[in-house]
Structure 1
């Protein structure tokens, strides 16, 4: 085995218990979301809010880690820039792994999905399993970064990450029944109309 792979494997094995401990057990709801106390849509909306909050926590943790690295006086500017760049690259690789793990693998680990043709899963249980997977991995990742990159007391915390804009409703998101080129409901045009003349090709 190449020597460069050994530290990576060692680090992965050391972090595995923390990641697994942060994942909700099968049938266990994260945070304040409780299954079975109301409409399924309300429960999924609650999970969606928890997921977005966990995403913001991860982004905030990475931003704070960058500020903590910048505050290291013993490092040269080039070293700080390289460290921050590598941390951002590692975060990008984490996101790619997390998305595949939660999108493709996590649904098979829950008991709520219904098998359909081709071995694919469907139903509310699949959405629940995906979101609980995202929440658990986000919280574990954020907690790990916060532990490793604590900001000095004299460094202010970065600005909180604003929540993403609300998703459009089905009425606004659905394409118009009159076709993609319809202007029904579009705002009126304002300002001068610019006419672009095309050059005339010689006969």
Structure 2
């Protein structure tokens, strides 16, 4: 038990550990460095950017499917449809999570910015990373 407490204290005091744990929305829009108006604009801009990056990652995944060797065109078509359907379901889940859940978890605090936009940025970054890893 004692080593765990010591390890937790070291992590809490180590600035490097906290920097590595920063969420994409915090890295893009640091509430400690910009004012509320700039923060709101930064979050809106980065949420739009993250949506474009997500769309590009899905498009790249579809192209990766099309480039796969050893599959029939009907298999590729089914895989593409399945990926597109899964992506639509994922976006619906993300939108519900970010619109309905995130505000309750963090509250609408102007100092940290809109939690809905932060949520979108963070989840989009995770999904883009996942798609890039699965469809190189």
Same fold (TM over 0.5): yes
Runs of 4+ in 1 over 3 A off after TM superposition: 36-39, 123-127
Within 5 Å, give how 1:1-203 maps onto structure 2.
Answer: 24=23, 29-110=25-106, 112-113=107-108, 124=110, 128-150=114-136
Counterparts in 2 of 1:69 and 1:23: CA distance versus 1, 3 Å:
farther
User: Which structure has the greater CA radius of gyration?
Assistant: 1
C-alpha displacement at 1:50, in angstroms? 1.2
Query: Which residue number corresponds to residue 191 of structure 1?
Result: none
CA contact (8 A) 1:30 1:135 kept: no
Normalized against structure 2, the TM-score is what? 0.76
Structure with greater helix share of residues: 2
List runs of 5+ in structure 2 lacking aligned partners: 1-20
Relative contact order higher in (CA < 8 Å, ≥ 6 apart): 2
CA contact (8 A) 1:29 1:35 kept: no
**Secondary structure of the structure 1 residue equivalent to 2:114:** helix
Return the alpha-carbon distance in structure 2 between the equivalents of residues 23 and 90 of structure 1. Answer: 28
